[in-house]
Structure 1
């Protein structure tokens, strides 16, 4: 793993992770991921999972269900 990695979700940047001594720190680049900014993770994979989970929770209800409502 390089010292800095980009995490993308659906082709859009969610943020960067910077390697630290025993894990990585996430730096958000876009909403809604600012809530995760500065959070420490044990691995790049753990940070990626957190970003994916957060994206589902932060999505509007219509986007989560896959159907748009008028």
Structure 2
């Protein structure tokens, strides 16, 4: 299944990239999932990349997690 399309503003993308370096491990994984989905990655690819189940990856929906 392809991740739901996510459109990030430049500000949001920069903030998520900042989280990748400074946030807690859970927030880093969340940021990486969102960034990968925004790049068009499928849930199974994101799942393998971040070592989470596809179900866990799917919970990071655009409505809940987009910032900026």
TM-score range, shorter chain: 0.3 to 0.5
Query: Structure with the greater relative contact order (CA < 8 A, sep ≥ 6): 1 or 2?
Result: 2
Calculate the TM-score normalised by the size of structure 1. Answer: 0.32
- Larger gyration radius, structure 1 or structure 2: 1
